[in-house]
Structure 1
């Protein structure tokens, strides 16, 4: 009588079983088959092959280049990577009234790369300790690029904004949607002063990109 391993319930023969190696190997292979990382061209190929998936199954799809697991709610769910984060403590300044990605006195740029999940949406969180040399405003936003192409430009409507000479910690969080799943994008902090006559200062800058399922 074939016995089962205590953890994975994989079959193995007993001394009294018939010495039929092909049958025993087939039984073991079939038991292991659904427990490995399965590989498919896309979701349609997966669903055609796995007509009755079991919760806990894991599958890789070449398109969009992601791992999925079959959850207890009977749905294939993406194994989404964790947030990408970068932090720079060095303070830098700008007098530019238009958004710039580099600051005087602070290198390198505040930049993070992240791959779009199947939802095509990534959540941006960008912030810093911000001040201005006058009562005017200072803005911190982020640009999104795929290679050299700007997908989402820095904008005041998507910016952490501080006014006055006192340093104030400020951040903003917003989603960027419509991205191509599986494609890597670059997110870069962008800064400006409300007027070129004023100096905007940014310290303790951070940028976090979180995939949205």
Structure 2
């Protein structure tokens, strides 16, 4: 009967075992197989091949060129990187409710698309250079939506805003935790803007989503 190594539980034969080298090599190869960095074309190919994953398994997916590991309950990306979007072009709004489009702005909207990590939590950071034509208060916040359905999972809110009051220019930023997201689901964080009076100008806008372990 083969014994097992103390750390990796890899099988090796005892002196009394039959001298069947191919069988012993096969047993060792099968034990090592699931401990290597597995390689697959994509998650579909991985799931078709690895039907009973265990915690700690590691694999490389050619699409989307990422390492993934199994937590014991779900595959998740290994060390996902922050997603950063910025737009230096200024735009204005006189809306007293949150809007995601600014008048006069050009270029891509400030929307960060990200995949929720295994923890289901991300840190949203956002900011802008803000000014106003009147003495009202200006707010920059964000909507977080499930990408597949555009369902809002966290609405923009004053309490989660970069804030400026008055007519002078000010660079303001904020950050807050978003939790309860579904691991591996794709979401968007879209910047939103409003002011209490006057016409607000937002320039050099950014939004960054950082996975939290």
TM-score in terms of structure 1 length: 0.71
How many angstroms does 1:64 deviate by? 3.4
Distance 1:66 1:128 in 2: 32
Distance 1:177 1:161 in 2: 23
What residue is the counterpart of 1:194 in the other structure? 196
Structure 2, unpaired ranges of 5+: 1-18, 39-45, 59-68
1:141 aligned to 2:159?
no
Aligned residues: 173
What residue is the counterpart of 1:46 in the other structure? 54
Distance 2:23 2:181 in 1: 49
1:64 aligned to 2:74?
yes
Q: Which deviates the most, 58-67 or 152-161?
A: 58-67
Distance 2:51 2:175 in 1: 35
How many angstroms does 1:33 deviate by? 4.6
Can you list the C-alpha shifts for 1:162-211, whole angstroms capped at 9, x where unaligned?
0122211110100111111111111100000112xx01000000000011
Distance 2:168 2:205 in 1: 16
Alignment of 1:1-213 (within 5 A): 27=28, 30-31=31-32, 33-37=34-38, 46-47=54-55, 58=58, 59-60=69-70, 64-67=74-77, 79-107=78-106, 108-146=108-146, 147-195=149-197, 198-213=198-213
How many angstroms does 1:41 deviate by? 5.5
How many angstroms does 1:138 deviate by? 0.7
Distance 2:127 2:37 in 1: 42
Structure 1, unpaired ranges of 5+: 1-17, 48-52, 68-78
RMSD, aligned α-carbons: 2.7
Distance 1:199 1:192 in 2: 9
Distance 1:206 1:119 in 2: 24
Distance 1:41 1:122 in 2: 29
TM-score in terms of structure 2 length: 0.71
Compared CA separation, residues 208 and 87, structure 1 to 2 (3 A): same
Compared CA separation, residues 100 and 175, structure 1 to 2 (3 A): same
How many angstroms does 1:149 deviate by? 1.1
